[in-house]
């Protein structure tokens, strides 16, 4: 691969959510700080929404790493397309319960007892649900009922939901209004502006070991920003492909021509139309009209 050619210690634009490359951008730091404050304050539900590829899973893992293991017990469910029983079973396993042979009623009692034990030992339990827009409606209701487990003074566990905008549509249903009212903090991740994309690319290559002044030329970064519409996942795909093109040509920097090749090879992005054929077509038409007018004038 191109790492040695560009003086990198690792690939800077992989799609795996690696917290080493956490977005050093205001929108993601604000979301992280909001969640940490909400959890420290004991709020029951927190929701983070973002379009596909905006870094929700990476943010989720960053939050997991930020929670002190001595103070928090974390439960992580990456794929919540589960029945109510399967969801409770997954949660129980995440908080350290042996669920073999437990039916639904006994499972619920075991969860309650385990949560009380953790609360008595001054440990907070946080459930993080990724791709929350995929939770079946009956399972969301089961989650709401599960959060009814509490002492006289505090909730026995807190919930952070990460999801696409469809999550908001799901929670807006009248049947789920009770859960919606329990969400005390909500944050929407936005796409990156053009200048932020340049910083994002620079940050990734530096964390990957690049020590030069600038691996990506400004115009190359701007083309990536425009084509990706500021979506981190698409930025990674285009930047990775552009590096491969530059490496194949023996270049030491990524230029706009390399990005153009990457754009042509990638689906689901904004492809810039080449205006040159249209321009030459207009010029040709203008010349033909001019010649015709001259011809008419000569023959009158």
Q: Coil, strand, or helix at residue 222?
A: helix
How much is the average pLDDT of 71-88?
A: 96
Asked if 185 and 38 touch (Cβ cutoff 8 Å), the reply is: yes
In 3D space, the residue among 195, 194, 200, 205 whose CA is nearest the CA of residue 243 turns out to be: 205
Which are the contacts of 58, defined by CB distance < 8 A and separation ≥ 6?
17, 18, 19, 21, 22, 23
Contact indicator for 54, 189 with CB cutoff of 8 Å: yes
Q: Supply the pLDDT for residue 288.
A: 56
Distance CA 281, CA 277 (A): 6
Q: Read off the pLDDT of each residue in 192-199 and give the average, rounded to a whole number.
A: 93
Cα–Cα distance, 241 to 258 (Å, whole number): 8
Confidence of residue 292 (pLDDT cuts 50, 70, 90): very low
Q: What is the pLDDT of residues 33-77, one digit of tens each?
A: 999 999 999 888 999 999 999 999 999 999 999 998 899 999 999
Q: How many helices (H) and strands (E) does the chain have?
A: 13, 5
Of 239 and 279, the structure prediction assigns the larger pLDDT to: 239
Confidence of residue 270 (pLDDT cuts 50, 70, 90): low
How large is the average pLDDT for residues 160-181?
94
Does the pLDDT at position 296 exceed 80? no
Bridge partner residues of 162 (DSSP): 48
Spatial CB neighbours of 155, under 8 Å, sequence gap ≥ 6: 42, 44, 147, 149
Q: What is the strand order of the sheet 45-49 is part of?
A: 72-77, 124-129, 158-163, 45-49, 183-188
| pLDDT tens track for 106-161 | 999 999 999 999 999 999 999 999 999 999 999 999 999 999 887 767 889 999 99
Q: How confident is the model at residue 273 (pLDDT cuts 50, 70, 90)?
A: low
Q: Rounded to whole angstroms, how far apart are CA atoms 284 and 99?
A: 77
pTM: 0.84
Residue 269's pLDDT band, with cuts at 50, 70 and 90, is confident
Average pLDDT, the chain: 89
């Amino acid at each position: 691969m191109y790492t040695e050619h560009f003086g990198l210690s690792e690939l800077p634009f992989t799609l795996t959510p690696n917290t080493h490359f956490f977005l050093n951008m205001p929108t993601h730091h604000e979301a992280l700080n909001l969640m940490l404050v909400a959890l420290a304050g004991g709020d029951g539900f927190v929701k983070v929404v973002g379009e596909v590829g905006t870094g929700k899973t990476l943010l989720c893992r960053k939050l997991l790493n930020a929670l002190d293991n001595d103070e928090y017990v974390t439960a992580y469910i990456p794929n919540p397309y589960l029945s109510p029983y399967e969801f409770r079973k997954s949660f129980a396993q995440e908080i350290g319960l042996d669920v073999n042979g437990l039916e639904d009623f006994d499972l619920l009692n075991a969860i309650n007892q385990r949560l009380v034990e953790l609360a008595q030992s001054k440990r907070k339990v946080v459930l993080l649900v990724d791709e929350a827009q995929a939770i079946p409606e009956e399972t969301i209701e089961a989650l709401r009922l599960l959060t009814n487990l509490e002492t006289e003074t505090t909730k026995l566990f807190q919930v952070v939901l990460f999801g696409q905008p469809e999550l908001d549509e799901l929670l807006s249903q009248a049947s789920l209004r009770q859960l919606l009212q329990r969400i005390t903090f909500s944050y929407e991740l936005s796409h990156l502006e053009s200048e932020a994309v340049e910083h994002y690319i620079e940050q990734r290559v530096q964390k990957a070991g690049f020590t030069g002044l600038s691996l990506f030329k400004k115009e190359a970064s701007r083309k990536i920003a425009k084509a990706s519409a500021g979506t981190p996942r698409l930025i990674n795909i285009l930047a990775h492909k552009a590096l491969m093109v530059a490496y194949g040509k023996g270049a030491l920097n990524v230029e706009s021509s390399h990005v153009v090749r990457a754009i042509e090879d990638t689906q689901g992005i904004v492809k810039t139309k080449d205006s040159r054929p249209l321009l030459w077509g207009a010029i040709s038409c203008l010349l033909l009209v001019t010649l015709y007018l001259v011809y008419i004038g000569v023959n009158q």
